[in-house]
Amino acid sequence: MNLYPFKFEPILKPVIWGGSEICKFKQITPPRDGIGESWEISGVKDHISVISNGDLAGTSLQELIMKTGSRLVGKKVYEKYGNTFPLLIKFIDARENLSIQVHPDDELAKKRHNSFGKTEMWYVINATPDAFIYSGFAKKITPDEYVERIKNDTFIETLKKHHVKPGDVFFIPAGRVHAIGAGCFIAEIQQTSDITYRIYDYNRKDADGNPRELHTELAKDAIDYTVYDSYKTEYVPSPNRPVQLVKCPYFTTNLLEMNQTLTRLYHQLDSFVIYICIEGKSTIKDNKGNTLSLHQGESLLIPADTNAVELIPSTYTKILETYVE
């Protein structure tokens, strides 16, 4: 079976807090309102991505891994994760504030849910002038004080609020309390996990008029209560060369900004590579002779048996490049 760069059918998620930007950004017609998330590449059970291009169109990502194993994902990745794809790639469009939440780490998630934990990162694509996110604590609290503040509706006062603009990056390790605020359009890269503990939801009601379920006790042991000096990732953009944004045990992510041809060599990398196109349009050529286009709003999975890729932008282009080291 010949492997080539794969595109996937987006999995669009209509939600009550969703906006109108995802379909426009991805150039999907007719546009749909109320779409909060587009799952670009997913190995989450019951939400498995399906290939949309080439000879293997219609094949699921899981089928592809089962048939090709380490050729697709890399030897070390396949040994660790088996037939589960290790990353979930999303676009998120928040018209309203999302709930404040936390995710367990691998150890706690395995113990409680037989699942991987969830470490993630956000790249802000667009933001309204008053858009913000919460990430981490602004003041020190104890686990017992956390429970008390949830009861008396003062928990939000303890959080670090960040006003955001396009290009901002936040790394959200498992255990860090966080929330996406209204007006944020974000690319999210995360571990393959759907385990979320909802901590606070602004006292909103569900469709039946009932308060939304909170996971106060589950979250109590999952939260990292440390107050850190900084929560935002600082980087210096550098056109036509990779700029590292995040490096952690679960993924490494680089920003590729280009107005001229950029060649990426992967022969020493034992992993798949994902491209998430944030802006512009490029022609992608690999060492196997495959050529295809990648435009704003599209994501691409480069198989691990690919040795080199040439990116040829037709206009100024920004791409997030992510893989597992």
Q: Catalytic positions, please?
A: 198
Compute the distance between CA of residue 157 and CA of residue 262 in angstroms, rounded to an integer: 46
Are 266 and 273 in contact, with CB atoms under 8 Å apart? yes
Beta sheet of 291-295, edge-to-edge order: 262-265, 308-313, 281-286, 291-295
Whats the size of the chain, residue-wise?
Answer: 325
In the structure encoding, which two tokens stand for residue 45, read together?
């059970």
3-state secondary structure of 94: strand
For residue 208, give every residue at least 6 positions away whose Cβ sits within 8 Å of its Cβ, in sequence order, or none. Answer: none
Residues 41, 60: contact at Cβ < 8 Å? no
Q: Do residues 133 and 181 lie in contact, with contact meaning Cβ atoms separated by under 8 Å? A: yes
**Amino acid identity, residue 27?**
Q
Residue closest to 134 by CA, chosen among 159, 164, 168: 159
Q: Is 57 helix (H, G, I), strand (E, B) or coil?
A: coil
Residue 99 has φ and ψ, to the nearest 5°, of -60, 150
Q: Are 268 and 325 in contact (CB under 8 A)?
A: no
